[in-house]
């Protein structure tokens, strides 16, 4: 309840992403500037990845700054490899190239994907590359545990409509559910479902059935909560305060109990995180386990809720379901210099591979020495640690627990107990994810 001030998508702001001070922020009242036109899920302005998944057209320079969003696809995502995962710094908007994009440290362990949160880190978040405009989504998963450790499985739209499952690591018998219309907080929207057994030790199926008329949350096939659109009329605004726009599936682990968070959030998450817990000593990180995610698109011939074309975009800033267009517009950028209105930017040379001398700095209209940001949560390419490889998705096929797949993975779980310091380049407050942006190089595809 206390955390209801922040929608989860917004809460992740302080979690999977570390804000760089020099990045312009955006809101409904303050749209992004022309040279960094795209407003990310975390309300920061930039180009490239900022204009892809999560780009909020209402807060961007113009409605078409954001790149159209790939339409829904029926799919069973077997979470047993990272072959179909890309770090957001490597993704240009083609869902054929990846099922999931994200930030942090996912890894494979025994035919499951673990989302990990190493000591002092900000966790891991993955999002599907396609958007669901109503439909069903089910995740077979085990939560993390421990005070302050939060696991989430949510639907999140670019205009911040949201339908949630959230789990706090001090209560392994409860699935907390919630929903938001355009990110507007409402203390009355949450509800709990009791889970038989234990959310950490056992796999359970958590499901969201979302139609234009109601949302059902099901645990292990049993309806635990229903919310009808008819109960959400807002007579002041003359609209349904009901999630209604195409949404990505997002799964994450994040430090709700970080000392950097507001007290309400920390309390809700069960207190401050113990970075020296048994869990950390034993495994080297907190983690949540995903076995399978299934998406079934809503079946309808006429909007709202179609998935006939290639992409969705918004034709009006109200961003209600009647403003979503199911279209054949392109969804891909040529490079991370591009935006919705200049999708081929960065494709200027004969080789198709711009030399590093065509790096962004001088290509930015009105730009000084600081190029616009290209990866949400990423730092300035000029100040990024540039340790390149350490930023990518850990390419682990670990049959053992490893904390940082780019380093030696020879330890067994037990041997890893002293490796707690490895996550240091992702410490809170440092430019944690700046490392993902060895950008000057990465944007050259």
Ligand X SMILES: *[C@@H]1O[C@H](CO)[C@@H](O)[C@H](O)[C@H]1NC(C)=O
- Report the C-alpha gap between 338 and 51 in whole angstroms: 8
Number of H helices, E strands in the chain: 4, 23
The dihedral sign for the CA sequence 98, 102, 105, 108: negative
Q: Could you give the angle at the alpha carbon of 251 between the alpha carbons of 247 and 254, nearest 5°?
A: 125
Residue 76 or 237 having the CB closest to ligand X: 237
Residue 304 is a binding residue for ligand X (CB under 6 A): yes
**Shortest Cβ 317–ligand X spacing (Å):** 15
**Shortest Cβ 416–ligand X spacing (Å):** 30
Residue 53 is a binding residue for ligand X (CB under 6 A): no
Residue 174 or 427 having the CB closest to ligand X: 174
Q: Which span (147-155, 186-194, 336-344, 409-417) binds ligand X, by CB under 6 A?
A: 186-194
Restricting to residues 192-231, name those near ligand X by CB under 6 A. 192, 212, 229
Q: How far apart, in Å, are the Cα atoms of 314 and each of 34, 319, 324, 338?
A: 19, 6, 5, 19
Residue 238 or 410 having the CB closest to ligand X: 238
State the number of binding residues for ligand X (CB under 6 A). Answer: 23
**Shortest Cβ 440–ligand X spacing (Å):** 42
Please enumerate in sequence order all residues whose Cβ is within 8 A of that of 55, keeping only pairs 6 or more positions apart, or say none: 38, 39, 40, 41, 65, 66, 67, 158, 340
* CB-CB contact of 75 with 55 (8 Å): no
Residue 243 or 371 having the CB closest to ligand X: 243
Restricting to residues 344-403, name those near ligand X by CB under 6 A. none
Q: How far apart, in Å, are the Cα atoms of 244 and each of 157, 181, 213, 214, 304?
A: 9, 8, 10, 10, 8
**Shortest Cβ 236–ligand X spacing (Å):** 5
Residue 184 is a binding residue for ligand X (CB under 6 A): yes
Residue 73 or 214 having the CB closest to ligand X: 214
* CB-CB contact of 130 with 251 (8 Å): no
Q: Which span (232-240, 337-345, 381-389, 412-420) binds ligand X, by CB under 6 A?
A: 232-240
State how far Cα 405 lies from the chain centre: 21
* CB-CB contact of 50 with 158 (8 Å): no
| Single residue of 77, 91, 200, 242 touching ligand X by CB under 6 A | 242
Residue 298 is a binding residue for ligand X (CB under 6 A): no
| Single residue of 35, 74, 80, 186 touching ligand X by CB under 6 A | 186
Residue 11: asked if its preceding bond is cis (omega within 30°), the reply is no
**Coil, strand or helix at 343:** coil
- Report the C-alpha gap between 72 and 61 in whole angstroms: 26
Restricting to residues 134-173, name those near ligand X by CB under 6 A. 171
State the catalytic residues.
Answer: 162, 166
Residue 262 or 445 having the CB closest to ligand X: 262
Q: How far apart, in Å, are the Cα atoms of 419 and each of 171, 270, 278, 392?
A: 28, 26, 13, 20
| Single residue of 97, 190, 358, 382 touching ligand X by CB under 6 A | 190
Residue 50 or 298 having the CB closest to ligand X: 298
**Shortest Cβ 311–ligand X spacing (Å):** 19
Interacting residues toward ligand X by CB under 6 A? 1, 171, 174, 176, 184, 186, 188, 190-192, 212, 229, 234, 236-237, 240-242, 244, 304, 320-322
């Amino acid at each position: 309840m206390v955390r209801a001030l922040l929608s989860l998508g917004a809460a992740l702001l302080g979690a999977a992403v570390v804000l760089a001070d020099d990045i312009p922020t955006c809101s409904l009242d303050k749209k992004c500037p022309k040279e960094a036109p795209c407003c990310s899920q975390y309300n920061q302005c930039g180009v490239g990845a900022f204009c892809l998944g999560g780009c909020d057209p209402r807060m961007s320079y113009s409605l078409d700054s954001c790149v159209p969003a790939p339409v829904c696809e029926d799919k069973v995502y077997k979470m047993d490899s990272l072959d179909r995962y890309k770090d957001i710094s490597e993704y240009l908007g083609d869902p054929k190239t990846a099922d999931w994009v994200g930030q942090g440290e996912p890894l494979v362990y025994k035919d499951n994907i673990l989302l990990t949160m190493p000591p002092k880190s900000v966790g891991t978040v993955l999002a599907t590359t396609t958007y669901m405009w109503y439909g069903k989504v089910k995740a077979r998963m085990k939560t993390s545990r421990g005070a302050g450790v939060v696991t989430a499985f949510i639907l999140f739209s670019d205009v911040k409509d949201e339908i949630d499952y959230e789990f706090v690591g001090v209560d392994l018998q409860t699935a907390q559910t919630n929903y938001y219309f355009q990110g507007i907080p409402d203390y009355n929207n949450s509800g709990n479902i009791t889970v038989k057994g234990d959310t950490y030790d056992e796999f359970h199926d958590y499901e969201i059935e979302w139609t234009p008329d109601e949302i059902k949350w099901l645990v292990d096939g049993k309806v635990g909560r229903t919310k009808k659109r008819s109960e959400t009329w807002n007579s002041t605004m003359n609209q349904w305060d009901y999630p209604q726009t195409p949404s990505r599936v997002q799964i994450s682990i994040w430090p709700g109990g970080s000392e950097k968070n507001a007290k309400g959030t920390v309390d809700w998450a069960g207190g401050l995180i113990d970075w020296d817990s048994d869990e950390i000593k034993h495994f080297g990180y907190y983690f949540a386990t995903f076995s399978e995610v299934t998406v079934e698109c809503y079946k309808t011939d006429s909007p709202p809720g179609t998935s006939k074309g290639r992409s969705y975009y918004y034709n009006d800033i109200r961003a209600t379901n009647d403003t979503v267009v199911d279209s054949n517009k392109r969804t891909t950028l040529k490079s991370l210099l591009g935006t919705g209105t200049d999708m081929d930017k960065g494709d200027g040379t004969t080789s198709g591979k711009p030399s590093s001398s065509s790096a962004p700095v001088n290509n930015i209209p009105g730009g000084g020495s600081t190029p616009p940001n290209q990866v949400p949560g990423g730092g300035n390419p000029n100040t990024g640690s540039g340790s390149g490889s350490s930023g990518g998705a850990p390419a682990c096929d670990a049959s053992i627990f490893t904390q940082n797949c780019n380093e030696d993975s020879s330890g067994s779980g037990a041997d890893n107990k002293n490796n707690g310091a490895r996550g240091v380049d992702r410490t809170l407050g440092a430019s944690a994810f700046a490392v993902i942006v060895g950008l000057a190089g990465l944007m050259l595809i």
